[in-house]
Amino acid sequence: MLKGKGIPIFITFLVGMIMIISFFIPHKPFGDIEKISLNWYSIIAGFTMLLGVDSLIGMHFRKVKRKDENWFFSLVLIFGFVATVVVGIVETVRFGTAFDDKSYFTYIYNYFIVPLQATMFSLLAFFIASAAYRAFRARNFDATLLLITAIIVMLGRVPLGEQISPYLPKFTEWIMQVPQMAAKRGIGLGISLGALGVSIRIILGIERSYLS
């Protein structure tokens, strides 16, 4: 019986209903249910993380073993993973917590992870330019409208815009406050209705593709 979809669908229904009802009941334990369930999610995710690591490290381990293309880089990945975990354990023993200011674990975070993250993030400066260029070449009404508004708003927010015309920053403000806000609200209303639809389809078991 457990092998069928019946029990999981019932669990989804039951948990979903409890969550909805608890919105109206401030009394314990219902009042804290959102906090509790997010807490539980992170516990479940914490255990599932091992499945993730098994998936990722396993894949790269196989690549190294088979000497696939790029196997050397897979080795780098495994090395990075193992080294970080080992440093984490050693520094926990040394300082009581790996997150100590003087621990090498913190160094790894500050000098490997942070610059890599920041640089990946800054790639957007180039990608945003190439995306804008593409919109410029698209030559259809929607893309042109998008691009023109983008240029106006961009200029309206820098000192150059003020020099071109003192009305430009004001017009930008108006675009943000009126047409932009209108569409954003319309999309927002659609999203909340859509989210209701998705939730109801899943809670009632109409949509069950997430279970095999």
Partner 1 sequence: MLKKILLLIFLVFSVSLFSQGNDSIIFLENQNPFLDFKLTGSDIPNDGGGGIQINWCFPDSLGNWFLTVLRRDDSNNIMVVATDLLVSSMQVRDVSSDEEPSRVKDNSNYYYTGILSKNMISEEFLNRLISNGSGYSKNGVYIFGNDTFYVTGETDPIVSKSSWFNLSRIPVLVSLIIIAFVFLYYLNLAKSGKDLYIRKINGLDAVEEAVGRSTEMGKPIMYILGIGYVTDIPTIAGLTILGRVAKKVADYETRILVPSYDPVVMTTAQEVVKEAFTEAGRPDLYNKNDIMYITQDQFGYAAGVDGMMMREKPGAVFLQGLFFAESLILAETGHSIGAIQISGTTETAQLPFFVAACDYTLIGEEMMAASVYLQKEPMMLGSIAAEDLLKVFIMFLIITGFVLSVLGYGLKIEVLKNVFDWLIKLLQV
Partner 2 sequence: MAVSTNFWIWIAALLTLAIYSFLYKDNPFYKFAEYLLVGISIGYGISVYWHNTIITKVFNPLVYDKNFLVLIPLILGLLMFSRFFKNVAYLSRIPIAFVVGAGTGLSVPSSFEFLFKQIYATMPLKLDIGSLIIVVGVISTLVYFFFSLEHKGFVGEVSKAGITFIMVAFGAAFGYTIMARVSLFIGRIQFLLSDWLGIIK
Contacting partner 1 (CB under 8 A), which of 10, 17, 32, 158? 32
Q: At what angle do helices 114-122 and 124-138 cross, to 10 degrees?
A: 20
Evaluated on CA atoms 42, 48, 52, 54, the torsion sign reads: positive
Residues 6+ apart with CB under 8 A from 68: 62, 74
Contacting partner 1 (CB under 8 A), which of 6, 7, 11, 70? 70
Q: Which stretch binds partner 1 (CB under 8 A): 46-54, 95-103, 159-167, 168-176?
A: 46-54
Query: Does residue 165 bind partner 2 (CB under 8 A)?
Result: no
Q: Which stretch binds partner 1 (CB under 8 A): 40-48, 87-95, 158-166, 170-178?
A: 40-48
Contacting partner 2 (CB under 8 A), which of 64, 95, 100, 152? 152
Q: How many CA atoms lie within 13 A of 172 on its CB side?
A: 17
Residue from 72, 91, 73, 81 nearest 112 by CA: 81
Tell me how far CA of residue 192 lies from CA of 176, 177, 189, in angstroms.
22, 21, 5
Contacting partner 1 (CB under 8 A), which of 6, 96, 179, 197? 197
* Minimum distance, C-beta of residue 166 to partner 2, in the bound complex (Å): 18
Neighbours of 36 (CB within 10 A): 13
Helices (H), 23-140: 33-66, 71-95, 104-108, 114-122, 124-138
Q: How many CA atoms lie within 13 A of 168 on its CB side?
A: 18
Contacting partner 2 (CB under 8 A), which of 90, 123, 139, 167? 123
Query: Does residue 189 bind partner 2 (CB under 8 A)?
Result: yes
Of 18 and 193, which has the nearer Cβ to partner 1?
193
Query: Hey, which residues between 55 and 74 contact partner 2 (CB under 8 A)?
Result: 56, 70, 73-74
DSSP one-letter code for 16: H
Query: Does residue 137 bind partner 2 (CB under 8 A)?
Result: no
Give the footprint of partner 1 on this chain (CB under 8 A).
20, 23-28, 30-32, 37-38, 41, 44-45, 48-53, 55-56, 58-59, 69-70, 113, 116-117, 120-121, 123-124, 127-128, 130-132, 134-135, 142-143, 146, 150, 184, 187-191, 193-202, 204, 206-207, 209-212
